[in-house]
């Protein structure tokens, strides 16, 4: 269908059209998630699917819709600089909406959410296309959207201490992976927000958080061989530590280990920024 059809849907407050089966509409919107046209992808496909999920249109079909989005995470996985990133990235964003709906309504069995968690985690640490905004094509933002999916999974009642610990490890794995360019389009902030979602569950004790944080700090201070750009190794974990410190310190919903965690984060930032904190000669 033309974008004019979907523009009419948007103008009608995104009500589900009655002239076509929902399955056909969903298939078309899913295809549009991978479009290189930012209007089709960002302004039509994603917001319409998100609205319908949030309004319960897919409540009886949520498992199948989420499975379809999870399958989209593998399309072209391993490629970089190609158009396949849009389908992977926006599949993660819609899958996050499916998880959020289940968090609100408890529609699915634990096994389904845990499977989605495995799929998201496996994809996020294997994603190699870390572009943020692509001129002429809009947002790719795979790492940011993956972080959003991690944050949604952290809110699931089916995720307890073992699963939440895995989510923290996935965040650490992602920020510690060397990238061809630094993550500069808000990804550290989104990953920090996902981490805060884990902390707000109040299930992960400081004795687990401390070594996890030490691992990230080690990445921010790692020695890089001569001739290599150190910021491509240290920059992402350093940016994440700063983003996490900001959110722990100022988020309106404080985490229960806030005081101790702030001390740990300050120590980490002192270590990774030692060159800037020396007494002036």
> 206: which 2 tokens?
């400081």
Residue 153 has what pLDDT?
98
* Closest to 262 measured CA to CA, from 246, 273, 277, 278: 246
Residue 274 has what pLDDT?
87
Residue 1 has what pLDDT?
61
Residue 230 has what pLDDT?
87
The more confidently predicted of residues 277 and 73 is 73
Pick from 77-81, 227-231, 252-256 the range whose average pLDDT is largest.
77-81
Mean pLDDT of 230-254: 94
Q: Which of 79-88, 119-128, 228-237 has the lowest mean pLDDT?
A: 228-237
Residue 168 has what pLDDT?
98
Residue 141 has what pLDDT?
98
Largest CA distance in the chain: 76
Mean pLDDT of 136-163: 98
CA 259 to chain centre: 26
Residue 172 has what pLDDT?
98
Of the chain, the percentage scoring pLDDT greater than 90 comes to: 90
Q: Does residue 167 contact residue 153 with C-beta atoms inside 8 Å?
A: yes
Give per-residue pLDDT as tens, 3-32: 899 999 999 999 999 999 999 999 999 999
96 pLDDT higher than 90: yes
Q: How many CB atoms lie within 10 A of CB 229?
A: 11
């Amino acid at each position: 269908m033309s974008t004019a059809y979907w523009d009419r849907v948007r103008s009608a407050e995104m009500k589900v059209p009655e002239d076509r089966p929902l399955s056909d509409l969903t298939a078309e919107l899913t295809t549009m998630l991978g479009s290189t046209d930012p209007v089709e992808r960002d302004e039509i496909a994603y917001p319409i699917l998100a609205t319908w999920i949030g309004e319960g249109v897919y409540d009886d079909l949520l498992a199948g819709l989420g499975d379809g989005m999870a399958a989209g995470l593998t399309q072209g996985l391993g490629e970089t600089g190609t158009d396949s990133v849009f389908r992977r990235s926006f599949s993660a964003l819609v899958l996050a909406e499916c998880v959020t709906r289940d968090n609100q309504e408890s529609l699915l069995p634990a096994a389904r959410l845990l499977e989605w968690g495995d799929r998201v985690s496996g994809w996020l640490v294997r994603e190699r296309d870390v572009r943020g905004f692509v001129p002429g094509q809009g947002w790719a933002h795979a790492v940011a959207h993956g972080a959003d999916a991690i944050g949604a999974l952290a809110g699931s009642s089916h995720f307890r201490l073992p699963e939440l610990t895995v989510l923290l490890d996935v965040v650490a794995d992602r920020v510690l992976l060397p990238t061809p360019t630094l993550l500069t389009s808000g990804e550290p902030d989104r990953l920090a927000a996902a981490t805060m979602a884990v902390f707000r569950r109040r299930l992960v004790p400081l004795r687990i958080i401390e070594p996890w944080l030490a691992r990230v700090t080690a990445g921010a201070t790692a020695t890089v061989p001569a001739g290599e750009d150190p910021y491509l190794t240290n920059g992402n974990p350093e940016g994440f530590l700063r983003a996490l410190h900001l959110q722990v310190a100022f988020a309106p919903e404080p985490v229960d280990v806030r005081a101790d965690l702030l001390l740990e984060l300050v120590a980490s930032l002192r270590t990774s920024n030692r060159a800037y904190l020396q007494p002036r000669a």
